[in-house]
Homo-oligomer: A and B are copies of this chain.
Amino acid sequence: MRSWERTLEQLCVHLRETALLESIRSVLQWDERTMMPAAGGEYRAESLTWLAGSIHRRQTDPRLEDWLVELEASPLANDPHGDAGATIREVRREYDRQTRLPQLLVEQLARTTVRGEQAWVEARANDSFAMLLPWLKEIFRLKRQQAEALGYRQSPYDALLEGFEPGASTTEVATVLEQLRSELVPLVRAIQDSGRQAPRGILQRRFPRDAQERFGRFVAAAIGFDFARGRLDVTAHPFCSSLGPHDCRITTRYDEHFFPSAFFGILHEAGHGIYDQGLRPDQYGLAPGSALSLGIHESQSRLWENQVGRGRAFWQHFLPLAAREFPEALNDVSLDDFCFAINAVNPSLIRVEADEATYNLHIVIRFELEQALITGDLTVEDLPAAWNERYRRNLGIQPDSDRDGVLQDIHWSAGLIGYFPTYSLGNLYAAQFFAQVDEDLGGIEPQLARGQFGPLREWLRERIHQVGRCYSADQLVEKVTGGGLSQRCLMSYLHRRLDPLYGLG
């Protein structure tokens, strides 16, 4: 055995043990968000702080530098997309990033963001931004410190964005989002001017909670979420988290008088889950067995939620089954009306319930606000006013309460700054992947209409899930679709779906 082969083995043992600690942290976080009695929060914060410190110590272990230097000079580094080459490259990226962060800051961030999440739950329940204010101030203060410690080329925001979407720059993302906005605004305006109103009322009838859960599970399993290797639970802010290579947990929240809330939430999280469940278990904790980026992760959830789940073909198959589960609500509803209802475009206050045309405008607002908060152009005290002003300007509406405004998302309270734009990247990638699979499979709609999701799922598994982190997002999109990131697929998909409903074009 060559010296570098032994070194690679040592590195992988180290990485797998770090992944073990990260999975332990995921168990504690999942439990905190779904099960833990509130009184347990303070002690849980201590546990998570301890874990964050231990993980950071392992990620900055000085032996990594020695191992990396040797491996980077070995033949393994010549194949950057091979299992070993990708692992070496990704460890280098993460090691350089982590060693720039002082241990104390890592632990302060962990402690503060755990308590921040808990404060958010309470602040939102009490509709009180004031309850969250001290936590948010402290979190943005620490995140600014983090950005300075990490370093950046143009904006401190770059340093944070890099943590969620490696390789992305603030300027590039801003450019893509601006292109998207410039095409979305006339589309939304044309829809509002069309005079047509979607029959939203049918989605606001009574959909009993138990039936929603049963139907949600049924559909999630049908598209390929494996419940033998996963769970579905209830939480305030839905998420998907993997607690190990064969233990993926998704969550949702139920509204008995708004069907899409839980249903598309479950489809969305199941899409994330199918990605995680499609990763190579033998490479768990190493680059080839890791999700590529948040943007790519989001592309998988969006594709199942929107491209598939809001399509006519999908409901050709599922509407009769839904009508059996919700006879009172759906027995008199036609496929046309149902599809119009779930694709209604209406500027609204809550991001997670926004339609596909206005959704990215919600992201643009958050993207701009968090940049301003990080650069210091906006103070946390002024955030609610700035939030409301931007909603008025961009969407023509404004919240009556912070609960439906600045308090609606957990992200900032959890220290996730630079995360929001990955949602829009996900929308863009999803449209590009879906156009490609439609071409590759010679028209996918007939399969979906028969409830056959296997070919689509396998296409995604082979081309995206099993690739793990062996390519960058740019490279993957190029490899899969033959082109670069662009708003074109998303816009033509939206026109194809919305124009007939609203009599446009």
Q: Which of A32-40, A148-156, A392-400 faces chain B?
A: A32-40
Tell me whether A246 is interfacial, beta carbon within 8 Å: yes
Least Cβ–Cβ distance between A290 and chain B, in angstroms = 15
Q: Which residue of B lies closest to A17 (CB)?
A: B50
Cα-based distance from A31 to B231 in the complex (angstroms): 12
Q: A230 to B28, Cβ gap below 8 A?
A: no
In-complex Cβ contact of A24 among B36, B42, B47 (8 A):
B47
Chain A residues 299 to 322 lying within 8 A of chain B, measured CB to CB, are none
Least Cβ–Cβ distance between A58 and chain B, in angstroms = 12
> Hey, which chain B residues are within 8 Å of A228, CB to CB?
37-39
Q: Which residue of B lies closest to A245 (CB)?
A: B43
Least Cβ–Cβ distance between A52 and chain B, in angstroms = 13
> Hey, which chain B residues are within 8 Å of A31, CB to CB?
27, 31
Cα-based distance from A244 to B37 in the complex (angstroms): 11
In-complex Cβ contact of A23 among B20, B43, B231 (8 A):
B43
Q: B227 to A50, Cβ gap below 8 A?
A: no
Cα-based distance from A231 to B39 in the complex (angstroms): 11
Copies in the complex: 2
Q: Which residue of B lies closest to A284 (CB)?
A: B43
Cα-based distance from A27 to B31 in the complex (angstroms): 8
In this complex, how many residues of chain A approach chain B with their Cβ under 8 Å: the count is 32
Q: B35 to A24, Cβ gap below 8 A?
A: no
Tell me whether A488 is interfacial, beta carbon within 8 Å: no
In-complex Cβ contact of A37 among B17, B24, B42, B227 (8 A):
B227
Cα-based distance from A397 to B179 in the complex (angstroms): 80
Tell me whether A465 is interfacial, beta carbon within 8 Å: no
Tell me whether A247 is interfacial, beta carbon within 8 Å: yes
Least Cβ–Cβ distance between A427 and chain B, in angstroms = 30
In-complex Cβ contact of A247 among B36, B231, B244 (8 A):
B36
Least Cβ–Cβ distance between A107 and chain B, in angstroms = 13
> Hey, which chain B residues are within 8 Å of A227, CB to CB?
37
Cα-based distance from A43 to B51 in the complex (angstroms): 18
In-complex Cβ contact of A44 among B42, B46, B247 (8 A):
B247
Chain A residues 443 to 502 lying within 8 A of chain B, measured CB to CB, are none
Cα-based distance from A27 to B151 in the complex (angstroms): 37
Q: A23 to B47, Cβ gap below 8 A?
A: yes
Chain A residues 239 to 264 lying within 8 A of chain B, measured CB to CB, are 243-247
Cα-based distance from A483 to B46 in the complex (angstroms): 42
Tell me whether A196 is interfacial, beta carbon within 8 Å: no
Q: A20 to B38, Cβ gap below 8 A?
A: no
> Hey, which chain B residues are within 8 Å of A230, CB to CB?
37
Tell me whether A229 is interfacial, beta carbon within 8 Å: yes
Q: A50 to B20, Cβ gap below 8 A?
A: yes
Cα-based distance from A42 to B20 in the complex (angstroms): 12
Cα-based distance from A27 to B33 in the complex (angstroms): 13
Cα-based distance from A42 to B243 in the complex (angstroms): 12
16 examples of A-B residue contacts, CB within 8 angstroms? A20-B47, A20-B50, A23-B47, A24-B24, A24-B28, A24-B47, A27-B47, A31-B31, A37-B229, A37-B246, A38-B228, A39-B229, A40-B247, A43-B244, A43-B245, A43-B247
Query: Given A24-B47, A39-B228, A40-B229, 4 other A-B contacts at CB below 8 A?
Result: A17-B50, A20-B50, A27-B27, A35-B231
Give A contacts to B, CB under 8 Å: 17, 20-21, 23-24, 27-28, 31, 35-40, 42-44, 46-47, 50-51, 227-231, 243-247, 284
